[in-house]
A and B are shown apart, each in its own frame.
Chain A
Amino acid sequence: MSFKSAVITFPGSNCDRDALCYLQDLTKGVVYNIWHEEASLPQVDLVILPGGFSFGDYLRSGAMASKSKIINDVIKHANNDRYLLGICNGFQILTEIGLLEGALIQNKNLKFLGKNCFIKKKFKNNFNLSIKEDQVLQIPVAHNEGNFYCDNETLKSLKNNEQIAFEYCKGEFSNSEENINGSIEAIAGITNKKKNILGMMPHPERAYSDFHPSQDGKLIIESLIS
Chain B
Amino acid sequence: MNEDLILQHGLTLDEFKIIKNYLNRDLTMEELGIFSAMWNEHCCYKTSKKWLKKLPTENEIVIQGPGENAGIIDIQDNDGIAFKIESHNHPSYIEPFNGSATGVGGILRDIFTMGARPIATLDSIRFGLIESEKTKYLLNGVVHGIGHYGNCIGIPNIGGECEFESTYGFNNLVNAMAVGHVQKDKIFYSKPKSIGGLIVYIGSKTGKDGIHGASMASDVFSEDDEDDKRPSVQVGDPFMEKLLMEGCLELMSLGLIESMQDMGAAGITSSSVEMASKGNVGVLINLDKVPLRQPLSAYEILLSESQERMLAVIHEKNNNKVKEILQKWQIDYEVIGEITNNKRVVFESNNKKVVDLPVDIIVDDAPEYDREFYIPRKRKGKDFDFSNIKLEDIINTLLFNLNYLDKSWVFNQYDSTVMGDTIKEPGQSSGIVKIHGTQKVIGATTDCNPLYIRINPYEGMKYTVAESYRNLIACNINPLAITNNLNFASPLDPNIMGELVLSIDGLKKAAAKFNTPIVSGNVSLYNQTNQIPIKPTPVIGMVGLNQDLKKINSNKFCNIGNKILVLGKQLEKNLSPYLLQDQNLASNINEYNDLEELDLDYEKKVADCVLKMSDLKYIMSCNDISRGGVFLSLLKMQYKDMGFKVNIPDPIDLFCEYSAGYVIEIRNEDLNNVTSFLGKNGVGYFEIGEIIRENIEINSKKFDYFDIMNNYHNNFEKIIN
Chain A positions within 8 Å of B, measured between CB atoms, are 11-12, 14-15, 17-18, 21-22, 35, 51-53, 55-58, 111-115, 140, 142, 144, 172-175, 203, 205-206, 209, 211-212
Question: Which residues does chain B contribute within 8 Å of A51, judged by CB atoms?
Answer: 418
Interface: B384 (CB within 8 A): no
Q: Is the CB of B152 within 8 A of A17?
A: no
Q: Is the CB of B238 within 8 A of A205?
A: no
Q: List 23 A-B contacts (CB under 8 A).
A: A18-B418, A18-B419, A18-B420, A51-B418, A52-B154, A53-B239, A56-B238, A56-B240, A56-B242, A57-B152, A111-B412, A111-B413, A112-B144, A112-B151, A113-B413, A114-B147, A114-B412, A114-B415, A174-B641, A203-B417, A205-B420, A209-B420, A211-B434
Q: Which of B144, B237, B243, B414 contacts A114 (CB 8 A)?
A: B414
User: What sequence of 0s and 1s flags, for each residue 227-252 of chain B, a beta carbon within 8 Å of any chain A beta carbon?
Assistant: 00000000001111011000000000
Q: Is the CB of A142 within 8 A of B152?
A: no
The 8 A-B residue pairs with the shortest CB-CB distance, nearest first, are A14-B154, A56-B239, A18-B420, A142-B415, A114-B415, A53-B152, A140-B417, A206-B417
Distance between B147 CB and nearest chain A CB, rounded to angstroms: 5
The complex places the Cα of A46 from the Cα of B180 at a distance, in Å, of 32
Interface: B507 (CB within 8 A): no
User: What sequence of 0s and 1s flags, for each residue 211-234 of chain B, a beta carbon within 8 Å of any chain A beta carbon?
Assistant: 000000000000000000000000
Q: Is the CB of B420 within 8 A of A21?
A: yes
**Residue of A52, A55, A173 most packed against chain B (CB within 10 A):** A52
Distance between B702 CB and nearest chain A CB, rounded to angstroms: 18
Question: Which residues does chain A contribute within 8 Å of B412, judged by CB atoms?
Answer: 111, 113-115
The complex places the Cα of A144 from the Cα of B415 at a distance, in Å, of 10
Question: Which residues does chain B contribute within 8 Å of A205, judged by CB atoms?
Answer: 420
Question: Which residues does chain A contribute within 8 Å of B414, judged by CB atoms?
Answer: 112, 114
Q: Is the CB of B415 within 8 A of A112?
A: yes
Which of B7-15, B465-473, B587-595, B707-715 participates in binding chain A? Answer: B707-715
Q: Is the CB of B151 within 8 A of A11?
A: no
The complex places the Cα of A175 from the Cα of B237 at a distance, in Å, of 35
Q: Which of A11, A22, A57, A175 contacts B329 (CB 8 A)?
A: A11
Distance between A216 CB and nearest chain B CB, rounded to angstroms: 14
Q: A114-B414, A115-B408 are in contact. Are A14 and B434 (CB under 8 A)?
A: no
The complex places the Cα of A57 from the Cα of B710 at a distance, in Å, of 36
Chain B positions within 8 Å of A, measured between CB atoms, are 144, 147-148, 151-154, 237-240, 242-243, 328-330, 408, 411-420, 422-423, 434, 549, 640-641, 706, 709-710, 713-714
The complex places the Cα of A50 from the Cα of B419 at a distance, in Å, of 12
Q: A57-B152, A114-B412, A174-B706 are in contact. Are A14 and B640 (CB under 8 A)?
A: no
Q: Is the CB of A12 within 8 A of B418?
A: no
Q: Is the CB of B710 within 8 A of A53?
A: no
Question: Which residues does chain B contribute within 8 Å of A21, judged by CB atoms?
Answer: 420
Distance between B250 CB and nearest chain A CB, rounded to angstroms: 12
The complex places the Cα of A57 from the Cα of B152 at a distance, in Å, of 9
Distance between B244 CB and nearest chain A CB, rounded to angstroms: 11
The complex places the Cα of A205 from the Cα of B412 at a distance, in Å, of 19
Q: Which of B152, B641, B706, B709 contacts A12 (CB 8 A)?
A: B152
Residue of A whose beta carbon sits closest to that of B706: A174
Q: A114-B413, A175-B710 are in contact. Are A142 and B148 (CB under 8 A)?
A: no
The complex places the Cα of A22 from the Cα of B153 at a distance, in Å, of 20
Q: Is the CB of B417 within 8 A of A114?
A: yes
Q: A18-B419, A56-B239, A174-B709 are in contact. Are A112 and B147 (CB under 8 A)?
A: yes
Question: Which residues does chain A contribute within 8 Å of B641, judged by CB atoms?
Answer: 174
The complex places the Cα of A173 from the Cα of B408 at a distance, in Å, of 14
Residue of B whose beta carbon sits closest to that of A110: B144
Q: A56-B238, A58-B239, A211-B549 are in contact. Are A112 and B413 (CB under 8 A)?
A: yes
The complex places the Cα of A203 from the Cα of B153 at a distance, in Å, of 17
Q: A114-B414, A206-B420, A211-B423 are in contact. Are A172 and B239 (CB under 8 A)?
A: no
The complex places the Cα of A11 from the Cα of B241 at a distance, in Å, of 11
The complex places the Cα of A91 from the Cα of B549 at a distance, in Å, of 32
Residue of B whose beta carbon sits closest to that of A13: B154
Residue of B whose beta carbon sits closest to that of A180: B412
Question: Which residues does chain B contribute within 8 Å of A53, judged by CB atoms?
Answer: 151-152, 154, 238-239, 242
Question: Which residues does chain B contribute within 8 Å of A35, judged by CB atoms?
Answer: 328
Q: Is the CB of A56 within 8 A of B418?
A: no
Q: Is the CB of B713 within 8 A of A175?
A: yes
Residue of B whose beta carbon sits closest to that of A52: B154
Question: Which residues does chain A contribute within 8 Å of B710, judged by CB atoms?
Answer: 174-175
Taking A111-B413, A113-B413, A203-B417 as given, write out 13 further A-B residue pairs in contact, using a Cβ cutoff of 8 Å, ordered by the A residue number.
A11-B329, A14-B152, A14-B419, A15-B420, A22-B420, A53-B152, A58-B239, A112-B414, A142-B415, A144-B151, A174-B706, A175-B713, A175-B714
The complex places the Cα of A174 from the Cα of B151 at a distance, in Å, of 27
The complex places the Cα of A119 from the Cα of B428 at a distance, in Å, of 25
Distance between A23 CB and nearest chain B CB, rounded to angstroms: 12
Question: Which residues does chain B contribute within 8 Å of A173, judged by CB atoms?
Answer: 640
Residue of A whose beta carbon sits closest to that of B416: A114
Distance between A3 CB and nearest chain B CB, rounded to angstroms: 20
The complex places the Cα of A115 from the Cα of B239 at a distance, in Å, of 22
Distance between B247 CB and nearest chain A CB, rounded to angstroms: 10
Distance between A55 CB and nearest chain B CB, rounded to angstroms: 7
**Residue of B243, B330, B420 most packed against chain A (CB within 10 A):** B420
The complex places the Cα of A175 from the Cα of B151 at a distance, in Å, of 24
Q: Which of B148, B242, B416 contacts A14 (CB 8 A)?
A: B242
Q: Is the CB of A55 within 8 A of B239?
A: yes
Q: Is the CB of A12 within 8 A of B434?
A: no
**Residue of B237, B242, B412 most packed against chain A (CB within 10 A):** B412
The complex places the Cα of A35 from the Cα of B330 at a distance, in Å, of 13
Question: Which residues does chain B contribute within 8 Å of A175, judged by CB atoms?
Answer: 709-710, 713-714
**Residue of A21, A57, A172, A211 most packed against chain B (CB within 10 A):** A211
Distance between B628 CB and nearest chain A CB, rounded to angstroms: 20
The complex places the Cα of A115 from the Cα of B422 at a distance, in Å, of 12
Q: A14-B242, A175-B710, A211-B434 are in contact. Are A56 and B417 (CB under 8 A)?
A: no
Question: Which residues does chain B contribute within 8 Å of A212, judged by CB atoms?
Answer: 420
Distance between A208 CB and nearest chain B CB, rounded to angstroms: 9
Q: Which of B411, B416, B419, B422 contacts A17 (CB 8 A)?
A: B419
The complex places the Cα of A172 from the Cα of B330 at a distance, in Å, of 46
Question: Which residues does chain A contribute within 8 Å of B238, judged by CB atoms?
Answer: 53, 56
Distance between A24 CB and nearest chain B CB, rounded to angstroms: 11
